Amino acid sequence: MHARLMTLTLALATLAGCGRAPVATQAVAGTPQAQGILDWTARLLQADADAFKAKDANGDGTLTVAELPGYPAAAFTQLDTDHDGKLTRAEATAQGASLATRAKVALEYAAAALKPTEGDDVGIEFFKAATPGGNPVLLVPGYLDLKFYFGLVDKRVKALGRSTTYVQLFPNIGDIRLAAGILRAEVQRVKAATGASKVDLVAHSEGGLIARYYIQELMETPDVERLVTLATPYHGTVLGYIGPGQGANQMQPKSTFLNSLKDHAPDGVKTTSIRAGLDEIIVPHDSPILAGADNELVQVCEHASIFVSGKAWGFAKAGLQR
């Protein structure tokens, strides 16, 4: 029940923009944290406006079904409160909608995301016999990530014939360097258990920073062949100013920790960085772009729905097969 409640809360915050502007009003004026929150709020609102404008193909200030390919028709209808076949920005973000409507829209959006989309052959691959082989894959969670977030990723990786191991780090809000030490021990354990000479890593959000620190600072032999990251703030996120724990502090843009990392994909590791075009957690949105990596963008996708996006998985699959 707790997990379901968290999922619903996350979905509502993503679709309806819950708690954005009010957060800034609660800060103590004049403090660095307050300024960070205000900057974050302003940039996030601007990012929302930019995303809306980018989809508004004819520039009339509204969005039609044609301008939102892949968006659930039922959700569009519910948000179109004046029934004119167009969404204003207020309607598109569910502002003013009832809690029941927001919940229904969020659930329908999540259900649509879980269905295989055009170009996503995962639904077919689930019924194919897996072909054994390939490096074992370690799944590295991010800040406050729950294990079930990786459920579909885990199934998809196994459908490629790969073994998977989830690295238990929850709640993962502490020092990223300590988490990297846990990852290092788990890599060694998996190699010993499987006889593999190398592993591949699939990481979400902060998990990508954990993986990079491990590779750069703790890896004594070339243990990692491929690194695939989903929505990782390589250059930080302004939300780092308001999150609890040292991990949040380390994710602040230009933090001492981030400055210690090379601003380039790890040498000798085939790196793929996938970012979400509507990421409400990673601000600025270009933070996941990393020099030397295959950088991919999934336009209609948020920080959490990147786990289930068919397009995101297509990029991740390609990264694991480089």
Q: Could you say which DSSP state residue 129 is in?
A: P
Q: Identify the pLDDT of residue 305.
A: 85
How far is CA 71 from each of CA 37, 64, 140, 247, 254, rounded to the nearest angstrom?
Answer: 31, 10, 29, 34, 36
Q: Identify the pLDDT of residue 184.
A: 96
pLDDT tens figures, 25-61:
333 445 554 454 445 445 545 545 666 677 778 888 8
Residue among 306, 245, 311, 252 at smallest CA distance from 283: 252
Secondary structure of residue 227 in the 3-state scheme = strand
Q: Identify the pLDDT of residue 30.
A: 52
Segment 214-243 shows an average pLDDT of: 94
Segment 270-279 shows an average pLDDT of: 93
Q: Identify the pLDDT of residue 111.
A: 54
What's the rounded Cα separation, in Å, for the pair 107 and 244?
28
Segment 97-101 shows an average pLDDT of: 54
User: Mind listing the domains of the chain with CATH numbers?
Assistant: 29-114 (1.10.238.10), 122-320 (3.40.50.1820)
For the chain, state the CA radius of gyration: 20
